[in-house]
Amino acid sequence: MFIKTSKAARRYARAIFQLAVEKEAEAEVRADFQALAGLLRDSAEFANLVHDPAHHVHRQQEAIQKLFGERAHPVVLDSLLFLAGRGRLAELPFICEHIEKLHCERNAILRARIATAAPLDDEQLTAIRERLEKRFGKTVEAAAQIDPSLLGGFKVRVGDAVLDFSIRTQLQRLRESMINA
């Protein structure tokens, strides 16, 4: 879930994504941007390169060429060089988010976050995922998360909607019903 957003990021993301679809490289481009998002989270140096306005455009472009010249898909590489040239490299985290969103929209994929008090095994996770797929009629990509404050049960977040089966919420409801009775 992204918190902040920018209109520019949305527009760049749409352009890059359309180009990828045209070149029939949607999956590769998406994978590359996913990797970039991971890199931004994990590598302080790469984040610094992207965010620090003190770096000169040519140095940024040189670095990008060196880092991704061999590894990234040409569309991704060109996009990065173009963003650097336009001084928009700082939008990269948002662009990654938007590419992901566009990919999900195009392929009818729902991203769900399943929070539980205790870790789920694969079987449970699959069961929940199948139920969700049935309910929403879309492919569901689930990410698990541990939240001990739920006490038990689970809580699924899909987009803006929340399905709350947690013990914490049930107890709260029980409390309210007893106060109001």
Partner 1 sequence: MPIDLKPEEVSSILRQQIADFKMEAQTYEIGTVLSVGDGIARVHGLANVMAGELVSFASGATGMALNLEEDNVGVAIFGDDISVREGDEVRRTETIASVPAGKGLIGRIVDALGNPIDGGPPLQDVTPSVIEVKAPGIIDRQDVKEPLQTGIKVIDALTPIGRGQRELIIGDRKTGKTALAVDTIINQRGQNVHCFYVAIGQKRSTVVQVYETLKKYGAMEYTTIVAATASDPAPMQFLAPYSGCAMAEHYRDNGGHALIVYDDLTKQAQAYRQLSLLLRRPPGREAYPGDIFYLHSRLLERAAKMSDERGGGSLTALPIIETQANDVSAYIPTNVISITDGQIFLESNLFNSGQRPAINPGISVSRVGGDAQIKAMKQTAGSLRLDLAQYRELAAFSQFASDLDASTRRQLERGARLMEVIKQGIREPLPVAKQIVIIYAGTKGYLDEVPVERVRDFERGLVDALDSTYSDLIDLINDQQALTDEVKDRIDRALKDYQRVFNENL
H helices of the chain, in order, are: 7-22, 26-42, 44-51, 57-68, 74-85, 92-106, 122-136, 167-180
# residues contacting partner 1 (CB under 8 A): 20
Locate tokens 């404050």: which residue?
149
Q: 119 to 148, contacts with partner 1 by CB under 8 A?
A: none
Q: Does 161 contact partner 1 by CB under 8 A?
A: yes
> Which window, 19-27, 40-48, 77-85, 160-168, contacts partner 1 (CB under 8 A)?
160-168
In the bound complex, what is the minimum distance in angstroms from residue 80's beta carbon to partner 1?
24
**Helices 7-22 and 92-106, interaxial angle, to 10°?**
50
Q: How many CB atoms lie within 10 A of CB 7?
A: 9
Nearest-Å Rg of the Cα atoms of the chain is 20
In the bound complex, what is the minimum distance in angstroms from residue 14's beta carbon to partner 1?
14
Q: Does 179 contact partner 1 by CB under 8 A?
A: no
- Positions that interact with partner 1 (CB under 8 A): 1, 3-5, 7, 157, 159-165, 169-170, 173-174, 177-178, 181
